[in-house]
């Protein structure tokens, strides 16, 4: 368990983290990237942390990878690279840094470690898990193999290293349909997200897609009825859903795509009003780059992603605690499943 008071005491001894409008004003270039969604008063609180983290990054030769679901002060204030889980994993292999700080959830840090075993990977809060990743273990994969002998196992990247190691190939929400379609077998096992699997089954009718019953606690909360009612009361709003949503929600939306697919769609289409049916920070993080789009409507927060805060990032970098380790044998097997996905995606031109 994290001892937050102890962390705060440690940080306040070493850093001046008093809210400072003067410091905030001197860092207006960073603030400009989030000024539509972060108030000046909040920025005055964040600025001392952002400065301390950015200074420390240079000292430690560290890079910060920020997932699209991070809060804007993390995504725009301290992240060197932002993106979805696959983009961040690939970035982890490319950067020259000694240290990677993963601003995301635990399976993402494991993936970075698997792909970059010689780098130190820090997780600012080890309790930042994921309902999907926690829904299945390697035993669950073995059970699916027993139920469907000979069928390949395609596991979403939102899984532990142990589950990746037990799978044949990984997929993300942006390449899942193509990865499944490319399998030789007629029957394909998808784990652990039942909704992503059902959405893929609709798009790849030539395959018999069978799935594990996991789900994302953020996306499973949306219903098709919510979308219909929203559309009725807000005509002209473009509804954009993540494929971790149930299939009837995806069917009700105007577009469905991974987080990077959603960003591309909104950037290309620039709808007057858009409702992103996904985690709340997505809209906040792209709002400043798309001032012509009015992001409206309800969103659902991921409690795991929100465990990552500026204070925890500063503490992890300062003390070099929260180092992620993956057993070498598990890492070798997991790397194979991830690398097969990367290679096949390149081959398919995705
Ligand atoms: S949004 Fe869903 S899939 Fe992503 S980390 Fe949170 S629980 Fe997991």
Band of residue 9 on the pLDDT scale cut at 50, 70, 90: very high
Write the CB contacts of 309 (distance below 8 Å, at least 6 apart in sequence): 71, 74, 124, 125
Q: Return the residue whose CA atom lies nearest to atom 3 of ligand 1.
A: 216
Per-residue model confidence (pLDDT) at position 4:
84
Alpha carbons 115 and 158: distance in angstroms, whole number? 15
Per-residue model confidence (pLDDT) at position 312:
97
Q: Examine the pLDDT at 340 and tell me if it is beyond 90.
A: yes
Model confidence, pTM: 0.94
Beta-carbon count within 10 A of 3 CB: 9
| Gap from CA of 281 to ligand 1 centroid (Å) | 12
Cβ contacts of 230-237, under 8 Å, gap ≥ 24:
230/275, 230/297, 230/298, 234/273, 234/275, 234/296, 234/297, 236/272, 236/273, 237/271, 237/273, 237/274, 237/275, 237/296, 237/297
Per-residue model confidence (pLDDT) at position 32:
96
pLDDT tens profile 229-247: 999 999 999 999 999 999 9
182 lines ligand 1 (CB under 6 A): no
Alpha carbons 292 and 270: distance in angstroms, whole number? 7
Specify burial of residue 160 (Cβ count, 10 A radius: 0-12, 13-18, 19+): buried
158 lines ligand 1 (CB under 6 A): yes
Give whole-number Cα distances, 187 to 50, 153, 208, 262, in Å: 49, 10, 5, 29
Write the CB contacts of 291 (distance below 8 Å, at least 6 apart in sequence): 36
Alpha carbons 105 and 157: distance in angstroms, whole number? 12
Backbone angles phi, psi at 330, to 5 degrees: -65, -45
279 lines ligand 1 (CB under 6 A): yes
302 lines ligand 1 (CB under 6 A): yes
pLDDT tens profile 256-288: 999 989 999 999 999 999 999 999 999 999 999
pLDDT tens profile 305-321: 999 999 999 999 999 99
Question: If DSSP codes are grouped into helix, strand and coil, which group holds residue 122?
Answer: strand
Alpha carbons 14 and 114: distance in angstroms, whole number? 33
Beta strands 153-156 and 187-191, pairing class? parallel
| Gap from CA of 285 to ligand 1 centroid (Å) | 17
Cβ contacts of 262-265, under 8 Å, gap ≥ 24:
263/68, 265/240
pLDDT tens profile 104-135: 999 999 999 999 999 999 999 999 999 999 99
Q: Return the residue whose CA atom lies nearest to atom 4 of ligand 1.
A: 130
| Gap from CA of 308 to ligand 1 centroid (Å) | 13
132 lines ligand 1 (CB under 6 A): yes
């Amino acid at each position: 368990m994290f001892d937050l008071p102890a962390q705060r005491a440690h940080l306040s001894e070493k850093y001046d983290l008093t809210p400072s409008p003067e410091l905030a004003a001197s860092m207006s270039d960073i603030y400009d990237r989030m000024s539509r969604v972060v108030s000046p008063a909040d920025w005055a609180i964040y600025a001392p942390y952002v400065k301390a983290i950015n200074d420390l990054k240079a000292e430690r030769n560290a890079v910060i990878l920020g997932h699209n679901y991070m809060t804007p002060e993390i995504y725009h204030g301290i992240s060197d690279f932002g993106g979805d889980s696959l983009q961040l994993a690939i970035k982890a292999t490319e950067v020259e840094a000694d240290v990677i700080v993963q601003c995301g959830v635990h399976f993402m840090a494991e993936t970075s470690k698997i792909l970059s075993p010689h780098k130190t990977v820090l997780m600012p809060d080890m309790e930042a898990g994921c309902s999907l990743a926690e829904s299945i273990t390697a035993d669950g994969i073995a059970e699916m193999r027993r139920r469907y002998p000979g069928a390949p196992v395609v596991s979403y990247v939102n899984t532990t290293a142990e589950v990746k190691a037990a799978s044949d190939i990984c997929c993300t929400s942006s390449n899942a349909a193509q990865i499944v379609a490319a399998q030789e077998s007629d029957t394909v096992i998808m784990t652990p997200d039942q909704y992503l699997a059902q959405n893929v089954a609709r798009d790849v009718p030539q395959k018999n897609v069978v799935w594990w019953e996991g789900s994302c606690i953020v996306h499973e909360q949306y219903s098709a009825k919510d979308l219909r009612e929203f559309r009725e009361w807000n005509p002209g709003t473009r509804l954009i859903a993540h494929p971790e949503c149930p299939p009837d929600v995806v069917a009700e939306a105007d577009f469905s795509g991974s987080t990077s697919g959603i960003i591309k769609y909104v950037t290309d289409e620039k709808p007057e009003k858009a409702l992103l049916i996904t985690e709340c920070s997505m809209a906040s993080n792209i709002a400043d780059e798309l001032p012509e789009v009015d992001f409206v409507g309800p969103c659902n927060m991921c409690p795991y992603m929100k465990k990552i805060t500026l204070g925890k990032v500063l503490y992890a970098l300062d003390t070099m605690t929260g180092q992620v380790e993956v057993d070498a044998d598990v890492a070798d097997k997991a790397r194979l499943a991830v690398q097969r996905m990367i290679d096949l995606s390149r081959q398919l031109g995705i």
